Chains A and B, each alone.
Chain A
Amino acid sequence: MTRIRRAIVATLLLLIVLLSSGCWNRRELNTLGIVGLVGVDACEQGITTTFGIIIPEKSGKSSVGKTEAPPAKYVQASGKTIMDTVRDTSLRFDRKLFLSQAKAFLFSEEIARNGLGEYLDGILRYPEMRLSMHLIIVKDTSAADVMGVASGINIIPSAYMEDIIKQYKVHSTSIDSRVLDFLKASTNNGINPVVTVFKKIKKNKIGEKGMLDEYELTAEGVAVFSKDKLVGFLDGQETRGYNWVIGNVHGATITFPTPGSNAITSVEVFNAESNNDVDITGKEIKLKVNIRMNGMLDEQTSSVNLQDIDSIIESVEQGTSQAIKQEVEHTLLKVQKEYQSDIFGFGQIVHRKYPDKWKTMQDHWNELFSQAIIEVVVQAKVTKTGKSSYPVVK
């Protein structure tokens, strides 16, 4: 190898080392404003977007029992689009916003009623955004208003919200909706989206002054959409009815009057599954929901002795089935008659089972769905009675 060649190769290698040490678009951590939450509210100019920015040095410390400054800062900007407001924050905030770590996108009820599609377009296009972010509709107040609330163990509002959302599997009276789920459902003719709902509620005063969080958030219920427009809400029990239908109940406690007495029985759900079908005969459309559930007797306030196991368990199972059936029928009827929006995906079943009929039905499926006949069958199995066969009450 000649000297000149060696020199060229050495120079090139050095150049590669220099180029490899960082990229053109490098953004050092201390120049970033790491966004945890994004809240969008309507305003005169269009939208006001509130960004919850995590302060990294605060987030590792617990503030339980202390009156420390919160671990997040908030910056707001108004504009016509979300991206417009992202840039606008640079006029007032000393860090460039970094949206890749955002846990959730919150929209106010007003925005949601006008349609979320136009705002989700930016989320789909912008490379920093992730479609796995939680999507939340804020009920009864503005999105910005709930963003500072973190009354759990986790003191970062975004993490607090995410932890609450993820607990839907414990009670099944809420759901975990993500931006991708919304996009999938809102662009499909056979199903409409549902979205997590957050409400800010005042806490009862417990404990000494100064140790209190004044407000807390609840994720009970869901927001019902028709395409990308909000059409209404389901409460907690109705949401569980919805979860029964789509086979999304992972855990819950069913409470119902004990058959043959004035007492109350609670049954814990171990697992559940649903099998939905649609039958079309002439002009009649029948929506069939078949739910199978397996659970354990959790609590009973009666004096029924479970040693007569067969007949008693049978009556508990009947009571459970009846309670689930009522819950599901009530939800189906409400969604059918009040919202006329197929959030359960029966349209997709019609598409799969009756592809030819679907071609003529798909454009007015929600209307057909609202007139369909419902048939709900529930088979509850109670296989365990907890740690006891004998009730405490004599």
Chain B
Amino acid sequence: MKNYEKISPIQAILLLSVIRIAIVLLWFEFENQDVWIVQILSLFYVAILCASLLYLGKKYPNQTLIEYLPAIIGKIAAKGLGFLYALFFLFLAALDLSLFDNIIKPINFPATPDFVFVVISLAVCAYSVYNGLECIARSAQFFTPLIFFVVALYAVLQIPDMDFKVFLPILADSTFWEINQRAFLNAARFNEIVVLAMLVPFISKKGETIKIFSWAVITITVYSLIIILPTLAGLGLDVPKKTFDPYYLFIKQINIYDFITRIEFLIVGAWNIGMFLKISLMLHLSITCLVQSFGLKNRKLLILPMILIILIAALQTDLLKSVIVFNIIRIYIPYINLIFMSGIPSLVLAIFFLKNMPMNKK
């Protein structure tokens, strides 16, 4: 058995939760007042979409997705898929960096050149990737509760300005098909299952994969609701559609007796830490995919090339443009996720079952 770094189940849950909530803090999408039903209903679709990877994770509790692929689909195909997964994680890292840049730059750093922002962000992430998964997981364990506390605090402070009548009438403006379609697409954003598939052997307690994922999904759903519902109750359903960052707009309104005001700086801290953890983890997993696919010895040698690829992608393409990044996140990400979290794993699982059929065993 290989000597893996070790993270605890609670670190895994917090890490999986924070990488999703970090995105919801920056950006979320909704159609109408039934958004809360969509969020809850999507749990059902998450279970369906993630079933293949969860099953495979249970069958191979001591290996990452990339490590058990050769045993099922053969070495060459596994190398190809490993490379694709590496690209997937690298793409997510670049996309998250771009999203972060597009939200925080107009607010805090309008005159800061993009390359300064990108270089500094990537340098910090590269350092944590250099120190390994345990470092990223420990950071998540320390910072995630603080981020959750800030989110809960904002929700409580805005209670006087909330009008929950905006969520009425229930199910009147959405058909059964529309609600399910939105829930399905929301479930397709839960690419954390792919992350977990890469973390399984690193988790100190074996056989807890489903439990860890369930807790992470519940935490994500609860905190997504704590972010989205107060925002809509405070801003109404129309204004949030006109801005990229409704949550920030919402917390800028906090004013308790002219005494507690302008406390949105806390969210900037949460953004920074959340995105630092997310980009670091995506980079780490991308490198892990390459290392495990091609049997490389030293993962640290890959950090710099990966950073350079993101740097070039960010600065030499249109990735940092608002319209591009928000279109990708809004329209394309669910479908890209579906390929990697459900499409490929389902095919792999089908091959696994075919190979393990009694007649083939003979």
Asked if residues B238 and A184 are in contact (CB atoms below 8 Å), the reply is yes
A323 interface residue (CB < 8 Å to B): no
CB pair A184 B110 closer than 8 Å? no
Question: A187 and B109: CB pair below 8 A?
Answer: no
Fill in one digit per residue for A173-195: 1 if any B CB lies within 8 Å of its CB, else 0. Answer: 00000001001100110000000
When distances are taken between beta carbons in the complex, the residues of chain B under 8 Å from A59 are: none
- Inter-chain contact A124/B112, CB cutoff 8 Å: no
Looking at B206-214, B249-257, B306-314, B346-354, the stretch in contact with chain A turns out to be B249-257
Q: Is the interface of A mostly helix, strand, loop or mixed?
A: helix
Contact B253 A25 (CB under 8 A): no
Say yes or no: B109 contacts A23, CB within 8 Å: yes
* B337 vs chain A, min Cβ distance (A): 30
Instruction: Please classify how large the interface on chain B is, using the bins under 10, 10 to 19, 20 to 34, 35 or more.
Output: 20 to 34
Given contacts A132-B253, A187-B242, contact A24 B173 (CB under 8 A): no
Stretch at the interface among B13-21, B75-83, B164-172, B270-278: B164-172
* CB-based contact B255/A127 at 8 Å: no
- List residues of chain B with CB within 8 A of the CB of A322: none
State whether B112 touches A24 (Cβ < 8 A): yes
Q: How far, in Å, is B268 (CB) from chain A's closest CB?
A: 12
The answer to the question of B243 belonging to the interface, with a C-beta cut-off of 8 Å to chain A, is yes
Chain A hits for B236, CB < 8 A: 184, 187-188
Chain B residue numbers with a CB within 8 Å of A25 are 108-112
Residues of B within 8 A of A353 (CB): 169
- Could you tell me the distance between the alpha carbons of A130 and B264 in the complex, rounded to whole angstroms? 12
Are A352 and B242 within 8 A (Cβ)? no
A180-B239 in contact given A132-B253, A355-B172 (Cβ < 8 Å): yes
Does chain B have a CB within 8 A of A356? yes
Known: A24-B116, A187-B238. A352 touches B109 (CB 8 A): no
User: Complex: how many Å from CA A184 to CA B232?
Assistant: 11
Question: Contacts A132-B255, A180-B253, A188-B236 hold; do A124 and B243 have CB atoms under 8 A apart?
Answer: yes
Do A124 and B242 have beta carbons less than 8 Å apart? yes
**A355 close to B235 (CB less than 8 A):** no
Q: Does B323 contact A (CB under 8 A)?
A: no
A124 to B249, CA, bound (A): 9
Contact of A184 among B107, B165, B172, B235 (CB under 8 A): B235
CB distance from B246 to the nearest CB of A (A): 11
Q: Is A183 a contact partner of B109 (Cβ separation < 8 A)?
A: no
What per-residue 1/0 map shows which CB atoms of A250-267 lie under 8 Å from chain B? 000000000000000000
CA distance A351 to B165 in the complex (A): 11
Q: Mark A117-157, 1 if CB is under 8 A from B, else 0.
A: 00000001001001110000000000000000000000000
CB closest chain-A residue, reference B169: A355
Inter-subunit contact A127/B235 (CB<8 Å): no
Residues of A within 8 A of B252 (CB): 130-132
- Interface flag for A348 (CB, 8 Å): yes
Instruction: Assess whether B106 is interfacial by the CB under 8 Å rule.
Output: yes
Q: Which chain B residues border A183 with CB–CB below 8 Å?
A: 238-239, 242
Question: Contacts of B109 on A, CB cut-off 8 Å?
Answer: 23-25
- A-contacting residues, B207-252, CB 8 Å: 235-239, 242-243, 249, 252
CB of B113, distance to nearest CB on chain A (Å): 8
Interface residues of A in 279-326 (CB under 8 A from B): none
Cβ of A187 and Cβ of B239 under 8 Å apart?
yes
Q: How far is the CA of A19 from the CA of B108 in the complex (A)?
A: 15
List of A residues within 8 angstroms of B107 by Cβ: 127
Q: CA A127 – CA B268 in complex, angstroms? A: 14
Report 10 cross-chain contacts, Cβ distance below 8 Å, ordered by A residue. A19-B120, A23-B109, A24-B109, A24-B112, A24-B113, A25-B110, A131-B253, A132-B252, A187-B239, A188-B238
Binding site for B on A (CB under 8 A): 19, 23-25, 124, 127, 130-132, 180, 183-184, 187-188, 348, 351-353, 355-356
Residues of B within 8 A of A (CB): 106-113, 116, 120, 165, 168-169, 172-173, 235-239, 242-243, 249, 252-253, 255
